[in-house]
Amino acid sequence: MSATLPERAARHGGRVAIWSAGRSFSYDELQHAATQAATVLLDGRSDLAEERVAFLVPPSFEYVATQWGIWRAGGTAVPLPLSAPPAELRYMIEDADAALVVASPELAGLIRPIAETRGVRLVTTAELLAGDLGPLPLVEPRRRAMIVYTSGTTGRPKGVVSTHAAILAQVDALLEAWEWSPDDRALLVLPLHHVHGIVNVVCCALASGAACEMHRGFDAAATWARLASGDITVFMAVPTIYRRLIAAWEAEAPERRRELSAAAARLRLMVSGSAALPVQTLERWREITGHVLLERYGMTEIGMALSNPLRGERRAGSVGLPLPRVEVRLVDETGAPVAHGTPGELEVRGPNVFLEYWRRKDATAAAFRDGWFRTGDMAVLEDGRYRILGRTSVDIIKTGGEKVSALEIEEVLRTHPAVAECAVVGVADPEWGERVSAAVELRPGAGLTLEELASWARERLAPWKVPKALVVVGELPRNAMGKVTKPDVARLFGVPNVPRPSRF
Ligand code: MLC
Ligand code: AMP
């Protein structure tokens, strides 16, 4: 088995690897560009020896050339979210202890002050891809390959470290289960700071010799145009995106609708994940395209774990069965397996599981029980298929496929001069799944509107963490111990909180 993805893809040669910015790039061109990038990153050294290289590059040929360049040079790739404000970028660069920062030329200005204060080298993708070709190190599969930041119940986002072997295990499970082939052409509209876009779409396409068409972000009209082109065979998205595609289809004239539906029906595979797919969305999509969306379940720490079948019955509301070589179990609070039909916490084991939270030994230790990774998701096995019931923690919110920590947002909101105390909850929402909502107690004499709070928060937090609703209260609801009761906070927004199972 090859050590890293670029080595695995070496045999695809002259085939098209990437469509980006209106042109195609072959696997050979990608390998060449990655070798150039690696040589520039190495700057005369023989091996980056897992040094972290943070990169801020939109989805494009340059993104993959940078990622592969980092891997070929023996470094650890740290993809940064494009729309995060400088404060968050700085946090990730510092936490990862990045020794190098790469940015596309148009984004370099944003990140230069951070690189300068940290005294690290900043290289643009233009510089990376203008270099010579030098000798490259041999990279063992067990070495660290990537750090993806993820929010948790404790403090600031943590870096999830995956090895080359874990990434390829995640890829291989999907290649097998979803029957990827060199004839596939995947459409990427997802961001490339998460495993959904990075692993499931880009790495899978490139490991199988398929082509990946990369868009800078999601746009409903542009996506429909490409789905209608007949070129695309594989599409993956979060439920919020399917909802927007449905709305765009419904806004079309009847004849155009028929064209779009007929073209979409010809795709080989359409997948939904990263958040629960509402049954109404699944049903409507089936009416429009004939596709029963293949819903699967995953997490940054493990890649994908459960999936409905490619062939055979896809059950609405279910996430199917374990992927090849992935083991799962449901346990009670003591770690004892629960009976069929009884809810339990989902635990995962297998070659797909991450190595560690970056420089957080305690958090890593706490995330495992007897060698099993504790997902923090509750699930139940019903009629031989798994169904996800919700999180064990009320403080984890999923909005538009982005996981956010209520506690992290609260910590930031508490530094607002008008805020005395606050509580953040996820409120069920048809568009976003859950909507980040803040209840605040104000300081004496202070006033605060949602617009004021949101524009202040936008400078400090990624857009998906910015509250979309605000209520000002005299006092937050608390229990007898003085602890804020989140279900009561959610009720302040007039909509019941998404039903969550009690811990057990
Ligand atoms: C953007 N906004 C969001 C948001 N994304 N708010 C809440 N939740 C989100 N996810 C903000 C915008 O900044 C903007 O703020 C307002 O909401 C509306 O913006 P928009 O232009 O309509 O949003 P858009 O940029 O189109 O983004 C929506 C989206 C995007 C759904 C396309 O969020 C997205 O790509 N989500 C997918 C994330 C993903 O890949 N997750 C996978 C995680 S891995 P304002 O203030 O300007 O109005 C994982 C494991 C697994 O979960 O199983 O896959
Ligand atoms: P992340 O930590 O951003 O990787 O998000 C992973 C989380 O997304 C999981 O722990 C689940 O809570 C949620 N998730 C992913 N896929 C699904 C799904 N199909 N149904 C319900 N929740 C999901």
Q: Give the number of whichever ligand sits closest to the CA of residue 149.
A: 2
Q: Phi/psi of residue 250, each to 5°? A: -65, -25
The predicted pLDDT at position 295 comes to 98
- Tokens standing for residue 30: 């990608």
Q: Which atom of ligand 1 lies closest to the CA of 436?
A: 7
Closest CA to ligand 2's atom 23: 275
Closest CA to ligand 2's atom 5: 299
| Residue recorded with tokens 């979309």 | 468
Q: Do 314 and 293 form a contact (C-beta atoms < 8 A)? A: yes
Q: Which of 460, 452, 466, 475 is nearest to 424 (CA)?
A: 466
218 lines ligand 1 (CB under 6 A): yes
426 lines ligand 1 (CB under 6 A): no
The predicted pLDDT at position 139 comes to 97
Query: What is the mean predicted confidence (pLDDT) over 4-26?
Result: 96
Dist. CA 389–CA 387, nearest whole Å: 6
User: Average pLDDT of the chain?
Assistant: 96
Q: Give the number of whichever ligand sits closest to the CA of residue 275.
A: 2
Q: Which of 17, 358, 7, 401 is nearest to 168 (CA)?
A: 7
- Reported as half-sphere exposure (CB side, CA atoms, 13 A), residue 305 has a value of 28
Dist. CA 276–CA 401, nearest whole Å: 9
Closest CA to ligand 1's atom 14: 463
Residue 68: what residue type? W
Q: Which atom of ligand 2 lies closest to the CA of 402?
A: 3
The predicted pLDDT at position 495 comes to 62
Closest CA to ligand 1's atom 28: 400
CA of 360 to the centre of ligand 2 (A): 22
pLDDT at 498 over 90: no
Closest CA to ligand 1's atom 37: 401
DSSP 111-167: HHHHHHHHT-EEEEHHHHTT----------TTSEEEEEEE--SSSS-EEEEEEHHHH
Query: What is the mean predicted confidence (pLDDT) over 351-362?
Result: 98
Each residue's pLDDT tens digit, 393-420: 999 999 999 999 999 999 999 999 999 9
237 lines ligand 2 (CB under 6 A): no
Q: pTM score, two decimals?
A: 0.97
The predicted pLDDT at position 496 comes to 55
453 lines ligand 1 (CB under 6 A): no
The helix (run of H) or strand (run of E) holding residue 408 is helix 406-413
196 lines ligand 1 (CB under 6 A): yes
CA of 463 to the centre of ligand 1 (A): 8
Residues 6+ apart with CB under 8 A from 347: 328, 329, 330, 331, 369, 372, 373, 374, 375
Dist. CA 157–CA 301, nearest whole Å: 13
The predicted pLDDT at position 494 comes to 83
Q: Which atom of ligand 1 lies closest to the CA of 218?
A: 32
Dist. CA 415–CA 268, nearest whole Å: 50
Each residue's pLDDT tens digit, 435-479: 999 999 999 999 999 999 999 999 999 999 999 999 999 999 999
Angle between helices 220-227 and 254-265 (to 10 degrees): 60
Dist. CA 154–CA 9, nearest whole Å: 38
Q: Do 287 and 245 form a contact (C-beta atoms < 8 A)? A: no
CA of 144 to the centre of ligand 2 (A): 23
Q: Give the number of whichever ligand sits closest to the CA of residue 170.
A: 1
Cβ atoms within 10 Å of 94's Cβ, excluding its own:
13
Q: Which of 443, 493, 495 is nearest to 467 (CA)?
A: 493
30 lines ligand 2 (CB under 6 A): no
CA of 33 to the centre of ligand 2 (A): 34
pLDDT at 155 over 90: no
Name the DSSP class of 200. I
CA of 56 to the centre of ligand 2 (A): 24
Q: For a substitution probing ligand 1, which of 193, 200, 240, 461 has the most ligand atoms within 8 Å of its CB? A: 240
Each residue's pLDDT tens digit, 273-328: 999 999 999 999 999 999 999 999 999 999 999 999 999 999 999 999 999 999 99
The predicted pLDDT at position 3 comes to 80
Closest CA to ligand 1's atom 45: 463
Q: Do 251 and 57 form a contact (C-beta atoms < 8 A)? A: no
pLDDT at 503 over 70: no
Residues 6+ apart with CB under 8 A from 36: 65, 69, 128, 129, 130, 131, 132, 133
DSSP 68-86: HHHHHTT-EEEE--TT--H
Each residue's pLDDT tens digit, 128-147: 999 999 999 999 999 999 99
377 lines ligand 2 (CB under 6 A): yes
The whole-angstrom distance between residue 73's C-alpha and the CA centroid of its chain comes to 25
346 lines ligand 2 (CB under 6 A): no
Cβ atoms within 10 Å of 116's Cβ, excluding its own:
10
Q: Which of 316, 375, 378, 389 is nearest to 344 (CA)?
A: 378
379 lines ligand 2 (CB under 6 A): no
- Tokens standing for residue 309: 């079948």
Question: Is residue 421 exposed (0-12), middle (13-18) or buried (19+ Cβ within 10 Å)?
Answer: middle
CA of 91 to the centre of ligand 1 (A): 20
Instruction: Say what percent of the chain tops pLDDT 70.
Output: 98
Name the pLDDT band for 159 (thresholds 50, 70, 90): very high
Dist. CA 138–CA 129, nearest whole Å: 21
399 lines ligand 1 (CB under 6 A): yes
The predicted pLDDT at position 1 comes to 56
